[in-house]
Amino acid sequence: MADITKEINRRRTFAIISHPDAGKTTLTEKFLLYGGAINLAGSVKGKATARHAVSDWMEIEKERGISVTSSVLQFEYDNYCINILDTPGHQDFSEDTYRTLMAADSAVMVIDASKGVEAQTRKLFKVCAMRHIPIFTFINKMDRDARDTFDLLDEVEKELGIATCPVNWPIGSGKGFKGVYDREKNEVLTFSDTEKGTREGHTEIISMEDEQKLTDFIGDAAKEKLQEELELLEGAGAEFDLDEVRAGDLTPVFFGSALTNFGVEVFLQHFLEMAMPPRPRKADTGEIDPLTNDFSAFVFKIQANMNKAHRDRVAFMRICSGKYDATMNVKHIQSGREMRLSQPQQIMADERKILTEAYAGDIIGVFDPGLFSIGDTITLPGKNFRYEGIPTFAPEHFARVRQVDTMKRKQFVKGITQIAQEGAIQIFQEFNTGLEEIIVGVVGVLQFEVLQYRLQSEYNVEIKLEKLPYEYIRWIENGPEIDLAHLTGTSDMKKIKDLKDQPLLLFVNEWSIGMTLDRNKDLKLSEFGRGNM
Ligand code: G4P
């Protein structure tokens, strides 16, 4: 037991949220470098290989040269066992990216210092905020011209609604970037752009008391500006409070440059100290303590066809409590079946490592004979609780799906419902008809291609997609109380229903959502659909 507690407490499981090109991959690579990275080569989609991903899990990956799947990287640093959940962010942004956040205990938010808060960061942040997980901000690319520091912090606070507390403070940016001031230690870490990619930099540490040395290194002008900014900050900034950080109400902010390896290790060290080990997770019987002996997990992602030769599906689960070992019997709560998880593995980008044991906080991928659904709970035999379900996230792209050959109706319905069950797409119907008119919603447009490709290659069904103009979907929270027939929306609003006959509304823009809410005072809309338990 002591061992289990120790193992679990040294785990830090997190996701990196950012907009494409903010530097997530570069930062991850630097983390791995400090960890003496197992598997460094090829484990992160390094820039050189990013457009030619190594995976052969799906034909489409090869064709597009991107990774449709997300994975986890595990490495050790300073006696911590770190799990970084990969959150695909480029064209492969999908509902899985959101679901991955349900398996994280905290998040690192990477922001490009010249751009500030961008669209994808905003979306991913919302999901983290819903879960109240701690968020740590790394403002990257300080070696390029950056926006004013106060403006950046202000934007994070206003746009995302989270208080900020800078742990260090940048001195200049771009060609004039001199380093960062460490507020706790009252010293300056100087920047030098000579150690790209290497571990040891030539950072000098200068105490603020050592005025002469400071002037020599950063110059009078930068020193004066720093002092002015620090005075302003004392009056304006939030005080550091670890409880608020852990409640997700305050984000510690760090400045650096992932590419030149500046400020990354300091960030990692602070992050590991401040972020928490796996926390208790909500189940229908109350919270489940991760530090018990009893293994439990939930499925947060299902990946089909990772190996085309075997047509297999892999269910990714996050271990929530206890220890898993490959010889144990487990119970799949939703089916009531007892079983051994087959081929438990940790998926490292292109490589699969067979696992013999894993602990709360870890992610394992197991072979799925078509039994698991997203949100399912796995426990020890004899237990009978269910973890809180994973919400359905709002798709942003919609299309009407038509079969080319209407004779293949059965395969079509089978294929499309199967793919929806895996969670790659969501399917809806016209409000007043059945499955003859299908509307598909996806988070990332690539999923349309995945759908088309998979229906063709696995079910031999050819489809045509007719894109619809809607970008926003809302679940009606108080459905039974609302008289849908008389709901007065805007002229471009569309009523649809999901496969469980739950009503939903599609909108072209946010303005329409506002108008509809104005016109129907009792209506309650939600951006998240309720997950299955
Ligand atoms: P992502 O995973 O968030 O999409 O971003 P990624 O790390 O791939 O970085 C996007 C681009 O930004 C890359 O340049 C990368 O080198 C650059 N970058 C990352 N961190 C920094 C930084 O701290 N400073 C500067 N100046 N650039 C940074 P690229 O031109 O797209 O690729 P490459 O050809 O340079 O590798």
Q: What DSSP assignment string belongs to 472-495?
A: EEEEETTGGGS-GGG----TT-EE
The finding on whether 108 has its CB within 6 A of some atom of ligand 1 is no
Question: For residue 70, what pLDDT is reported?
Answer: 45
User: What span, in angstroms and rounded, lies between the C-alpha atoms of 68 and 58?
Assistant: 8
Half-sphere exposure at residue 512, Cβ-oriented, CA atoms within 13 angstroms: 18
The minimum-distance atom of ligand 1 relative to the CA of 258 is 23
Decide which of 303 and 415 is more confident: 415
Task: Report CA Rg, the chain.
Answer: 25
The finding on whether 257 has its CB within 6 A of some atom of ligand 1 is yes
Residues with Cβ within 8 Å of 256's Cβ and at least 6 positions away in sequence, in order, are: 138, 139, 140, 142, 180, 262, 263, 264, 266, 267
Distance of CA 343 from the midpoint of ligand 1 (Å): 36
Give the count of beta carbons closer than 10 Å to the beta carbon of residue 50: 14
Distance of CA 29 from the midpoint of ligand 1 (Å): 11
pTM over 0.85: yes
Question: For residue 247, what pLDDT is reported?
Answer: 96
Question: For residue 196, what pLDDT is reported?
Answer: 52
Distance of CA 26 from the midpoint of ligand 1 (Å): 6
Are 21 and 117 spatial neighbours (Cβ–Cβ below 8 Å)? no
User: Element (H or E) spanning 42, and its range?
Assistant: helix 40-43
The minimum-distance atom of ligand 1 relative to the CA of 20 is 4
Question: For residue 294, what pLDDT is reported?
Answer: 95
What domains are defined for the chain?
A: 7-80+94-274 (3.40.50.300), 281-379 (3.40.50.300), 397-526 (3.30.70.3280)
Burial of 276 (0-12, 13-18, 19+ CB in 10 A): middle
**237-246, 434-443, 451-460, 464-473: which has the highest mean pLDDT?**
464-473
Distance of CA 257 from the midpoint of ligand 1 (Å): 10
Decide which of 61 and 238 is more confident: 238
Burial of 511 (0-12, 13-18, 19+ CB in 10 A): exposed
SS (HEC) of 287-323: EECCCCCCCEEEEEEEEECCCCCCCCEEEEEEEEECE
